[in-house]
Amino acid sequence: MKKINAHLIAFIIILIALVMFNWQYGNETFVFFGFAENKEMEIRLEHPSTIENIYVSPGSKVQKGDLLMEVTRSSLELTQSDLSHEIAKLESQSEIWKAGVKSSIHQLQAQKASKEREIQIQIAQLESDISIKESLIKDLESIRPAKDKSGHSPSTIKIEGLRKELKLMVKPIDAQIKKLKNELYASNNPTKIQIKKLQNELGFVNKEEDKLSIFAPSHGVVGTIFCKVGEQFSAYSTLITFYEENPTQVKAYVLESLILNVNLGDSISVMSGVQTRSECMGKVIGMGSRIIEIPERLRKNPAYKTYGREIQIEIPAENDFLQKEKVVLKSAVKKDNPNQKVIRAFMPPEKPAKIITDQVKLTTE
């Protein structure tokens, strides 16, 4: 009798616990599982390289900007040398050309000054003669030099002719000087364009040289190192993997029968399966487009295959979760889907399919 009473009491306690659990979770939330994942990146180079030095090891914690490794590119130094030589050659040619143009401008300016001086002397001489004659015959109207119909004397007409001649002689020289100056200071000069192009190429190569020192992109942990000192790697080969120190995403799987309860943007409570104080709120940022087999580790009973939809949940970086740690996720059941509710306590591993059916029936009633 005492034995029966003990079994009865144990049964009542278990039943009360199940009812309480069902009251707390079954009518309001459903529970599923996932992995906490760190955002991982692969560090690669765009050109063939040789590993010079490695300053970290797998699992090393680094700060943003810490030097991870150094590599060399034999072709880079040759390219720099060729570009620098070609730029120097073109700059030398440009200086010689500039000197020639400036010399031509100086010659034209000297030619212009010479012609101006020559004609100005003739004009000054004629003006002096006119002045002298005017002073000598000031009061002798009868012997005053004859003037043309316009009232100008021959000397005055000659002076005007010399001035016009000066303009005609100087105008083409000025035009030639202007043309040479435009060529000298033009921005579209072919040599200048070529030098600018080569300088841009050299600047790009110098930036590539900076990439030969590989730094940590952010605070985090070194993952796998795929290279050794002295090894040569082809372009775009993965040299090292790097991931953030704390997980920032959770990959979870929702049972096929419950997928209507999760939508993009939903808030999800994320808890550690072993660390009682590790808990945060996440947000659904991605959902798979097909039903797939749920990984064995996330099944209630590993022996039975179950299927569901993969979802991605973003979580704050300030958390205590470990990389690939199994986490428990809770979400509210949609009010318009009451038949989707689930009670984890009513899902023993022996007959999961039958128990789930009973659960839905129970909830509906």
Residue 69 belongs to domain with CATH number: 2.40.50.100
Query: Which pLDDT score, from 0 to 100, does residue 19 have?
Result: 61
What CA–CA distance (Å, rounded) separates 270 from 272? 7
Question: Which amino acid, residue 52?
Answer: E
Token output for 40: 């991982």
Mean pLDDT per block of 10 residues along the chain (365 residues) reads: 65 73 56 86 83 89 90 71 81 82 84 80 75 66 53 70 76 82 76 80 68 81 88 86 85 88 89 79 91 88 88 88 86 57 38 35 31
Q: 69-105: buried (b, 16+ CB within 10 Å) or exposed (e) per residue?
A: bebebeebeebbeebeeebeebeeebeeeeeeeeeeb
What CA–CA distance (Å, rounded) separates 157 from 149? 12
Global pTM value: 0.44
CA-wise closest residue to 324 among 365, 295, 364, 304: 295
What CA–CA distance (Å, rounded) separates 312 from 95? 63
- For 219, residues 6+ apart whose C-beta sits below 8 A from its C-beta are 62, 63, 64, 244, 245
Question: For the chain, how many residues are written?
Answer: 365
Regarding whether 178 and 88 lie in a shared domain, the answer is: yes
Largest CA distance in the chain: 172
Query: Which pLDDT score, from 0 to 100, does residue 23 have?
Result: 52
Regarding whether 128 and 67 lie in a shared domain, the answer is: no
Query: Which pLDDT score, from 0 to 100, does residue 147 have?
Result: 52
Regarding whether 221 and 148 lie in a shared domain, the answer is: no
**94, 191 contact by CB (below 8 A):** yes
Q: Phi then psi for 45, rounded to 5 degrees? A: -120, 150
Regarding whether 111 and 68 lie in a shared domain, the answer is: no
Query: Which pLDDT score, from 0 to 100, does residue 347 have?
Result: 37
Place of tokens 């029966």: 4
Regarding whether 222 and 137 lie in a shared domain, the answer is: no
Regarding whether 167 and 141 lie in a shared domain, the answer is: yes
Query: Which pLDDT score, from 0 to 100, does residue 283 have?
Result: 92
Query: Which pLDDT score, from 0 to 100, does residue 364 have?
Result: 30
Regarding whether 230 and 144 lie in a shared domain, the answer is: no
Our count of domains for the chain comes to 3
Domain boundary pick from 198, 229, 244: 244
Query: Which pLDDT score, from 0 to 100, does residue 359 have?
Result: 33
**349, 300 contact by CB (below 8 A):** yes
Residue 263 lies in a domain: yes
Is the torsion defined by CA of 195, 196, 199, 204 positive or negative?
negative
Residue 192 lies in a domain: no
What CA–CA distance (Å, rounded) separates 284 from 261? 12
Query: Which pLDDT score, from 0 to 100, does residue 313 have?
Result: 92
Residue 314 lies in a domain: yes
Residue 346 gets which letter from DSSP? G
HSE value, Cβ hemisphere, 13 Å, CA-based, for 208: 19
User: Which CATH number fits the domain that encloses residue 357?
Assistant: 2.40.30.170
CA-wise closest residue to 220 among 35, 40, 57, 36: 40
Residue 220 lies in a domain: yes
Q: Phi then psi for 53, rounded to 5 degrees? A: -145, 150
Token output for 188: 């579209």
Place of tokens 């016009």: 164
Regarding whether 240 and 279 lie in a shared domain, the answer is: no
Residue 155 lies in a domain: yes
- CA 255 to each of CA 39, 56, 356: distance values in angstroms, whole numbers, following the listed order: 25, 42, 11
For 68, the domain range is 42-73+212-244
Residue 205 lies in a domain: no
Regarding whether 323 and 306 lie in a shared domain, the answer is: yes
Residue 315 lies in a domain: yes
Q: Phi then psi for 231, rounded to 5 degrees? A: -75, 150
Query: Which pLDDT score, from 0 to 100, does residue 56 have?
Result: 92
- Host H or E run for residue 168: helix 154-185
Residue 62 lies in a domain: yes
Regarding whether 306 and 240 lie in a shared domain, the answer is: no
What CA–CA distance (Å, rounded) separates 242 from 245? 9
Q: Give the 3-state DSSP-derived string for 172-215, with helices as H, strands as E and coil as C.
A: HHHHHHHHHHHHHHCCCCHHHHHHHHHHHHHHHHHHHHHCCEEE
Regarding whether 150 and 62 lie in a shared domain, the answer is: no
Regarding whether 271 and 237 lie in a shared domain, the answer is: no
